[in-house]
Amino acid sequence: MKNVPDRLTGQVLNWQEKRENYKAIIEKCSTVVCAYPKKHYGWDEDQCQDFYLFFFDRMVKLIEGFQYNGMSFYAILNNTIALQLKTFYFREKNNNNKKSCLKYNSIIEYEEDRYKSRNFDFELTESACEKLCIDKNGRIQNKKISKRLIMLILKNSLIVDDFYIIKIATLTGVNEKWLFDSIMKLRAKCDDRLERLEIYRARASRAYMDLCRLQRKLGICLNELERRQLLMRIALLQERYETACVRRNSVHYCPSNSEIAEIMQIPKGTVDSGLYYLKKKLI
């Protein structure tokens, strides 16, 4: 048998040749598929199981159609899971939107109900109130903690909304308009990085799909000259795919500590240490 990079790849190739240990392969692949959403996105067990049922047929086809050309089966499985997670997520999101449309008479009624329900999401436990030094009036007494909490909110500018901006302004005593404007400025600075991230994601996805297509073509090709040409194209695509992945992973799209320091008009080292000590205190 060829030299293979991992045991799973060897098991798949052995099954294709001798039809042995199929159950062990399915069990191993199933473990990987169920664990991936929880590890990377924090999904609960029910969500992971729903995705597994959605992905199962594709997993079986991957096992049957796998051709080893330098990329391990484990890597192909993980990349396919990552792509299919997006499809699954948007499909579930569309289903939820359809249910909301059936439940509510209008989008305004739906938004009002959603906003009211979210008021309960910001309730702090007694332990959190104690750690943040929150008094009976709902204000943080310690100015250092207030300042550090603002740093943390600015760090997460891309995901906070108006509701949380109001709550944080109330907790810290900071001017609500200043906090809103600061978050808008940081989001504007992140736009270019988010655009680059999407470009690299698209390149990686395109290269991966081309790789899958050429690998399937190689599997049914009998002409030696065509096989060599296909192998050269596969090697080139693998290089493109790896380059796109490296560039994609190097994009830090969240606001940097330097940008937060500039907004708050304080040294960058103060932001570094402030975020570190706040996380340490809360955890």
Instruction: State how far the Cα of 222 lies from the Cα of 69, in Å rounded to an integer.
Output: 16
Q: Structurally, how many domains does the chain consist of?
A: 2
224 vs 253, higher pLDDT: 224
Q: For residue 253, give the nearest of 194, 188, 212, 184 by alpha carbon.
A: 194
Last residue of a domain, one of 98, 121, 144: 121
Q: Looking at the structure, do residues 187 and 274 belong to the same domain, yes or no? A: yes
Q: Looking at the structure, do residues 179 and 99 belong to the same domain, yes or no? A: no
Q: Looking at the structure, do residues 39 and 141 belong to the same domain, yes or no? A: no
Q: Looking at the structure, do residues 114 and 171 belong to the same domain, yes or no? A: no
Q: Domain range spanning residue 73?
A: 1-121
Q: Looking at the structure, do residues 21 and 49 belong to the same domain, yes or no? A: yes
- pLDDT tens string 118-159: 443 445 666 767 777 777 777 888 888 888 888 988 988 888
Q: Looking at the structure, do residues 104 and 132 belong to the same domain, yes or no? A: no
Q: Looking at the structure, do residues 136 and 183 belong to the same domain, yes or no? A: yes
Please tell me the predicted confidence (pLDDT) of residue 118: 43
Q: Looking at the structure, do residues 146 and 97 belong to the same domain, yes or no? A: no
Last residue of a domain, one of 94, 121, 148: 121
**What pTM does this model have?**
0.49
Q: Looking at the structure, do residues 222 and 157 belong to the same domain, yes or no? A: yes
